[in-house]
Chain A
Amino acid sequence: GAGVSQSPRYKVAKRGQDVALRCDPISGHVSLFWYQQALGQGPEFLTYFQNEAQLDKSGLPSDRFFAERPEGSVSTLKIQRTQQEDSAVYLCASSPLFVAEYPPQHFGDGTRLSIL
């Protein structure tokens, strides 16, 4: 497809389980971002990749969160030992350029994660 694709769209997990969320950016896009959006809130930055390099992971809330983009295209966000406060929509976005003047313009529809 032409847009950013995220899977699964919905994920329900029990507290303590590990989850993996996938993002397929637009082909050829250099920059890839992950954001976390809690219910009723604006998105909060998690991490940023330029190609396969993770240049900024300052937003990851704990060491239970891990992101990778090994070949510079598809990215996976992994959450270990999930907790209820991890329940949120996880948004992925990509951009063709890697300068600050060009914000993420193409967002996926997100993965809604619910931790029981």
Chain B
Amino acid sequence: AQSVTQLDSQVPVFEEAPVELRCNYSSSVSVYLFWYVQYPNQGLQLLLKYLSGSTLVKGINGFEAEFNKSQTSFHLRKPSVHISDTAEYFCAVSVTGRRALTFGSGTRLQVQP
């Protein structure tokens, strides 16, 4: 079975500062990796995904993530955050042949002016 660990439950950061949200996964087979964002009282929105190929993946809203197989990590980064980026961010993994996503417990990004 696979699992996802998001190491930080909350990340406070000032506006226009860079941010990194950490995600580590565990799986005995090859995985697909995803980041989702959830705004209050809303569903999830897909930010980006890693399927194969280049380990640096660019997504929407200026976010990017890098897949590191040796460290089993898929950290999310943004060089300059905005107040509007305040939300909950979830890392997720799926494996070939199974459509179910396994989510981490989430990281709350709090952008302060």
Contacts and interface: CB of A to CB of B under 8 A. Distances in A.
A4 B96 contact: no
> Among the interface residues A56, A93, A103, A110, which one has the most CB atoms of the partner chain B within 10 A?
A103
A42 B49 contact: no
Contacts of A41: 105-106
B45 A107 contact: yes
- What DSSP secondary structure best describes chain A's contact surface? loop
B: interface residue count bin: 20 to 34
Contacts of A101: 32, 51
B9 to A, nearest CB: 9
Given A101-B32, A104-B46, 12 more contacts: A33-B99, A35-B101, A40-B106, A42-B90, A42-B104, A43-B101, A48-B99, A100-B97, A103-B32, A103-B49, A109-B42, A110-B42
26 contacts: A33-B100, A40-B105, A41-B106, A42-B90, A42-B103, A42-B106, A43-B101, A43-B103, A44-B103, A48-B100, A55-B99, A56-B98, A56-B99, A56-B100, A91-B44, A93-B44, A98-B99, A100-B94, A100-B96, A101-B32, A103-B34, A103-B49, A103-B94, A107-B44, A107-B45, A109-B43
